[in-house]
Amino acid sequence: GYREFFPFCKTNTDVKTMRCDLRRAEWEGSPREGKMVFHIASDRFLRGMVRLIVGMCLHVGTGKTKIEEVRHALDRQERLKKSWSIPPQGLFLTEVSYARY
């Protein structure tokens, strides 16, 4: 749903609002299989948002970060650690769709 995604964007952005309607964010596959796929859908994405969301998921999933730390950052609208951002290699844009006007 709609939420302020300030914690998940890069600092040098000039967008007027950080509100996004995140409709889907889920993992597919298994680390044991050696392949994980992350699906995400939103009405828009902020600069660096997907890389930070994936990095946050990996940090929480591997026990490096507690989910409470993420909730705290979201509730207080504090930026997440830049070091959580994953490199762009391995991320693929697979579909773009637009609402009819």
- Backbone dihedral angles phi then psi of residue 29, each to the nearest 5 degrees: 100, -170
Does residue 22 lie within any of the structural domains?
yes
- How many Cβ atoms are within 10 Å of 100's Cβ, its own excluded? 3
User: Residue 6: its pLDDT value, please?
Assistant: 87
Does residue 42 lie within any of the structural domains?
yes
| DSSP label at residue 35 | E
Give the C-alpha separation, 48 to 91, whole Å.
Answer: 12
pTM: 0.85
Does residue 98 lie within any of the structural domains?
no
Does residue 18 lie within any of the structural domains?
yes
pLDDT > 90 in the chain, percent: 47
Does residue 93 lie within any of the structural domains?
no
Report the pLDDT averaged over residues 19-27.
93
- How many Cβ atoms are within 10 Å of 98's Cβ, its own excluded? 5
Token digits of residue 49: 């948002």
pLDDT digits (tens, 9 = 90+) for 50-96: 999 999 999 999 999 999 999 999 899 988 888 889 999 988 888 88
How many structural domains comprise the chain?
A: 1
User: Residue 35: its pLDDT value, please?
Assistant: 86
At residue 61, the 3 state secondary structure works out as helix
Largest CA distance in the chain: 45
As a residue count, the chain comes to 101
Q: Is the pLDDT of residue 99 over 80?
A: no
Does residue 91 lie within any of the structural domains?
no
User: Residue 101: its pLDDT value, please?
Assistant: 57
Give me the domain span that covers residue 60: 2-84
